[in-house]
């Protein structure tokens, strides 16, 4: 039997509705999967950005640590330079005072030499000896450290029996230290302390030796020398300076 056209249309409409109802869950599932994929992409991008930020932060901290270490090393160098400069200032303050003490000693020695009864007993010309020593000291006083160091060493070679030898070694050490030749200065300072331990210059010579050792990077040796000053010459001004450098009261 033929189906009327109107009924046929109603059947098609009903079939379409049933089809939509049957396909509803599948369509909803497709929608949920798409949202999930978008969320995964979003989370992946978010975590990627966080990871990039963490890498940047870690790199910055590493660079900061390197800079901090470099600053510590630079500070250690500056401390050494400050100590060297401190000694140079102390040396400059003492130089003027010691100059007049040396001048008095020279005059007394010249007077005593002039009263000597025979030239045979004085193989060294005391006038020439005093003149050469005073010339070297004058160079040092005028700030010509390199020339002064050479002049004092020439004096030491020319007058091996001179009573000025302790002072000549000491001032030669000062001159070369001012010229940043710490190794050369340390040899001269050490010789004063070892050969003339009872000379008034001995404590200051050890102080100069400690500064030279510090300038050469021998911190342990410098501290041992400073400690030696406080024990060997406890009442000297050099001992007080040594205590200050070691941080003692």
Closest CA to 151 of 167, 139, 165: 139
* Domains of the chain in sequence order: 80-116+123-246 (1.25.40.10)
Residue 162 in tokens:
């001179």
Q: Residue 123: its pLDDT value, please?
A: 64
Mean pLDDT on 30-34 = 63
Q: What is the separation of C-alpha 51 from the centre of its chain, rounded to a whole number of angstroms?
A: 40
Place 17 in a pLDDT band, splitting at 50, 70 and 90. Answer: very low
Residue 12 in tokens:
């098609």
Structural element, H or E, at residue 21: helix 5-114
Mean pLDDT on 33-41 = 79
pLDDT above 80 for 8: no
Ramachandran angles phi, psi of 117, nearest 5°: -75, -30
Work out the end-to-end distance of the chain between its first and last CA atoms, rounded to an integer number of angstroms: 127
Q: Please tell me which residue, 215 or 27, carries the higher pLDDT value.
A: 215
Between CA 233 and CA 246 the distance in angstroms is 15
Model confidence pLDDT, tens digit, residues 155-214? 999 999 999 999 999 999 999 999 999 999 999 999 999 999 999 999 999 999 999 999
Q: Residue 132: its pLDDT value, please?
A: 95
Q: At what angle do helices 202-215 and 5-114 cross, to 10 degrees?
A: 150
Q: Please tell me which residue, 1 or 249, carries the higher pLDDT value.
A: 1
Share of the chain above pLDDT 70, in %: 70
Mean pLDDT of the chain: 80
Mean pLDDT on 115-124 = 51
Q: Residue 97: its pLDDT value, please?
A: 57
Q: Please tell me which residue, 75 or 215, carries the higher pLDDT value.
A: 215
Q: Please tell me which residue, 200 or 19, carries the higher pLDDT value.
A: 200
pLDDT above 50 for 118: no
Mean pLDDT on 66-77 = 80
Q: Residue 178: its pLDDT value, please?
A: 96
> Is 244 in a helix, a strand, or coil?
helix
| CA torsion through residues 218, 222, 224, 225, sign | positive
Q: Residue 5: its pLDDT value, please?
A: 52
Q: Residue 33: its pLDDT value, please?
A: 72
């Amino acid at each position: 039997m033929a189906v009327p056209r109107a009924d046929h249309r109603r059947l098609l409409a009903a079939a379409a509705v049933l089809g939509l109802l049957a396909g509803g869950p599948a369509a909803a599932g497709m929608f949920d999967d798409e949202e999930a994929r978008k969320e995964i992409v979003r989370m992946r991008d978010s975590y990627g950005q966080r990871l990039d930020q963490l890498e940047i932060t870690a790199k910055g901290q590493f660079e900061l640590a390197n800079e901090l270490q470099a600053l510590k090393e630079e500070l250690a160098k500056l401390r050494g330079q400050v100590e060297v400069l401190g000694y140079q200032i102390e040396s400059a303050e003492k130089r003027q005072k010691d100059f007049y003490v040396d001048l008095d000693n020279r005059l007394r020695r010249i007077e005593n030499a002039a009263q000597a009864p025979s030239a045979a007993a004085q193989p060294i010309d005391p006038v020439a000896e005093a003149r050469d020593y005073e010339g070297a000291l004058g160079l040092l006083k005028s700030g010509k450290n390199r020339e002064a160091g050479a002049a004092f060493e020439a004096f030491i070679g020319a007058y091996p029996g001179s009573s000025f030898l302790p002072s000549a070694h000491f001032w030669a050490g000062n001159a070369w230290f001012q010229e940043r030749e710490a190794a050369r200065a340390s040899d001269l300072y050490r010789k004063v302390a070892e050969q003339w331990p009872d000379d008034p210059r001995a404590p200051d010579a050890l102080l100069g030796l400690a500064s030279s050792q510090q300038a050469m990077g021998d911190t342990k040796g410098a501290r041992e020398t400073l400690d030696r000053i406080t024990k060997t010459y406890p009442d000297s001004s050099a001992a007080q300076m040594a205590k200050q450098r070691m941080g003692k009261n």
